[in-house]
């Protein structure tokens, strides 16, 4: 090796993440009219970050906690309480000891650990199926652990493309993994109805497919945690399926920087669950040794206390109601302006996101001329809207949509 050559000469440049770059550009923009509809973080009615009252109280309750290492699998009461929250304390998967779990670095970390465990269990030659469109990190996470990733068409202009979804389920090889959005599909906002979930589950059971739920928005979608967890509980409880669930508290408790999540697998029996959990421990040990404590203690303090848990449920209602209100107001403003297009989808979709159906050129024009920032796909975070900017956003969208193409 010559003195001028580099070990890293074959490492290609990787473009930065588009959403984080969008946020970076927004922060650097000095224009007072600027609106950030890119990154999916909740904002209050003034456009500011919101620390949930339940979280504020929980932080006060744990202020004298120690700073020792957690066990490899994570904070034990956190794992127990979150598992009971997701599956229901009275469920047969809990009483039968059939759930293996580990604390994870929010939803992304949970998906990565799940991918590593499934590769170990099923082998590298299995295919992971994701929706098209899907969260931008899904493909990257599963390809990084060695899986082949395929997409299936998920959404049409008017809702879920059930024909394409069911066809993908029918044609996939047994033991294929399907990444399912438990609620608030990112980015489309189109969620299956309970009846559609039952259709999906029936085919997955019949064809021995493996469901892996990305559950980043439970409770925030509708304001009701039980309602948002319907699919998970139906697959595990009613159909008795083996499955994986990746939980994040970034959105539902506003713990973005604390990276607090859980990776859980429902297995056939208690002995298998023990084996799976031992494998999770080995993976976590080699990856991060043991997880961070602060966020897990915050979540535990909330879920273990009836008063704080009730406050958190009210906080979820506050967030989901504000998002729903902004959906309606944006739709109303565009309708009042008689903006060309069908804007009813804004209120028909659920959760934090919506795809407006604008072209990349229109999205670019909104950023350059009006300082409105959104993903190139025109996916917007509804939480970035408030009483002070929603009319401005609607008027600018109207101008861009009505502008003749050059």
d(CA 345, CA 158): 7
| Candidates 50, 191, 197, 214; catalytic one | 214
Handedness of CA 123, 127, 130, 136 (dihedral sign): positive
| CA-to-CA dists, residue 371 to 22, 28, 388, angstroms | 11, 11, 15
Q: Active-site residue 251, yes or no?
A: yes
Cβ(271)–Cβ(301) below 8 Å:
no
Q: Active-site residue 367, yes or no?
A: no
Using H for helix, E for strand and C for coil, what is the string for 126-173? CEEEEEECCCCHHHHHHHHCCCEEEEEECEECCEECHHHHHHHHHHCC
**Distant-in-sequence, close-in-space partners of 72: CB < 8 Å, separation ≥ 6:** 102, 281, 284, 285, 289, 290
**Distant-in-sequence, close-in-space partners of 193: CB < 8 Å, separation ≥ 6:** none
| Candidates 135, 190, 312, 343; catalytic one | 135
- Largest Cα span, the chain: 69
Q: Active-site residue 197, yes or no?
A: no
Chain-centre distance for alpha carbon 9: 36
| Candidates 161, 228, 251, 315; catalytic one | 251
Which of the residues are catalytic? 135, 214, 251
């Amino acid at each position: 090796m010559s003195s001028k050559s580099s070990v890293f000469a074959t490492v290609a440049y990787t473009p930065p993440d588009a959403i984080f770059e969008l946020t970076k550009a927004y922060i650097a923009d000095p224009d007072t009219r600027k609106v950030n509809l890119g990154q999916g973080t909740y904002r209050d009615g003034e456009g500011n970050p919101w620390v949930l009252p339940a979280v504020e109280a929980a932080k006060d309750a744990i202020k004298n906690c120690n700073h020792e290492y957690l066990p490899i699998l994570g904070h034990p009461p956190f794992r127990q309480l979150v598992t009971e929250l997701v599956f229901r304390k009275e469920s047969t998967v809990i009483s039968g000891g059939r759930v293996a779990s580990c604390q994870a670095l929010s939803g992304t970390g949970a998906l990565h650990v799940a991918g590593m465990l499934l590769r170990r269990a099923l082998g590298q030659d299995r295919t992971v199926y994701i929706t098209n469109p899907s969260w931008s990190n899904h493909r990257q996470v599963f390809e990084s652990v060695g899986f082949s990733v395929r997409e299936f068409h998920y959404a049409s202009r008017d809702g879920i493309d059930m024909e394409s979804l069911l066809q993908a389920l029918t044609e996939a090889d047994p033991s294929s993994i399907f990444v399912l959005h438990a609620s608030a599909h990112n980015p489309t906002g189109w969620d299956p109805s309970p009846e559609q979930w039952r259709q999906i589950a029936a085919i997955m059971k019949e064809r021995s497919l493996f469901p892996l739920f990305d559950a980043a928005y439970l409770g925030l979608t509708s304001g009701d945690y039980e309602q948002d967890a319907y699919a998970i509980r139906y697959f595990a409880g009613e159909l008795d399926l083996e499955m994986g669930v990746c939980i994040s508290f970034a959105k539902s408790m506003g713990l973005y920087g604390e990276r607090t999540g859980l990776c859980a697998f429902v297995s056939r029996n208690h002995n298998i669950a023990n084996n799976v959990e031992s494998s999770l421990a080995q993976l976590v040990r080699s990856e991060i040794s043991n997880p961070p404590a602060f966020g897990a203690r915050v979540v535990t303090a909330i879920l273990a206390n009836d008063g704080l848990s009730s406050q958190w449920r009210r906080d979820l209602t506050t967030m989901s109601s504000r998002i729903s209100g902004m959906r309606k107001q944006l739709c109303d403003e565009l309708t009042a302006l008689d903006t060309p297009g069908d804007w009813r989808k804004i209120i028909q979709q659920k959760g934090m996101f919506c795809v407006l159906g604008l072209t990349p050129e229109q999205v670019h024009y909104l950023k350059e001329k009006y300082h409105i920032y959104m993903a190139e796909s025109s996916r917007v975070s509804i939480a970035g809207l408030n009483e002070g900017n929603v009319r401005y956003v609607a008027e600018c969208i109207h101008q861009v949509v009505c502008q003749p193409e050059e």
